[in-house]
Amino acid sequence: MAQREDTTTNLLGALGVAVTDHIRAGIDTVGEHGGQSGAAITTIGILPGLSVGELAGILGLTHPGTVRLVDRLVADDLVEKTASAEDARALALRLTPPGKQRRREILSQRSKRLQGMLDVLSGAERRQFDALLRKILGNLPVNRQQAYVVCRYCDAGPCFRNDCPVDNACPDAATDGLAAMTGRR
């Protein structure tokens, strides 16, 4: 006999879908590119100097798919390609001033939409929910790469200022190029 899914598991799955849909709907109001463009912009903003290959790994896209995405973002003057300081064969991706503005708009929409979901909680419930989220999120990443995947839509400023559970859960990755670029462990 197959084990039935418990209610908490089902509710968490439904919440995950609702959160994802809210974030994507907000991002869609900001830019003309759908798909992973919002995640690419927010990720490049937090990790300037990423290579196309590193970005592909974070976004879960193929290398050719990421190249096409980056080319569209470059054509729209949101991203620029520069020579990588670490590898002469690679290109480093950085946001242009319009790209930085787009990132701010994306993060603002994300925050507004997620805040609306949290408004039903009292102050005490919100603190309890925060503690539970930290416990769950702190158990997710097993390496720096997975942390960047989890946080690809994050506004890193508030999280790093408030003891990010995902960052804290990562093993020391001083040799990881992504960690070195952020100046974080």
Q: CA of 129: how far to CAs of 116, 117, 124, 135, in Å?
A: 15, 12, 9, 10
Of 88-92, 124-128, 144-148, 178-182, least confident by mean pLDDT is 178-182
Give burial (CB, 10 Å; 0-12/13-18/19+) of 48.
Answer: middle
Is it the case that residue 1 has pLDDT exceeding 80? no
DSSP H or E run through 83: strand 79-83
Q: Tens digits of per-residue pLDDT, 63-102?
A: 999 999 999 999 999 999 998 777 777 789 999 999 999 9
Per-residue confidence band for 167, with pLDDT thresholds at 50, 70 and 90: confident
pTM of the model: 0.80
Q: What is the pLDDT of residue 181?
A: 42
pLDDT at 156: 77
Residue 95, H or E segment: strand 91-95
The CA distance from 87 to 71, in Å, is 20
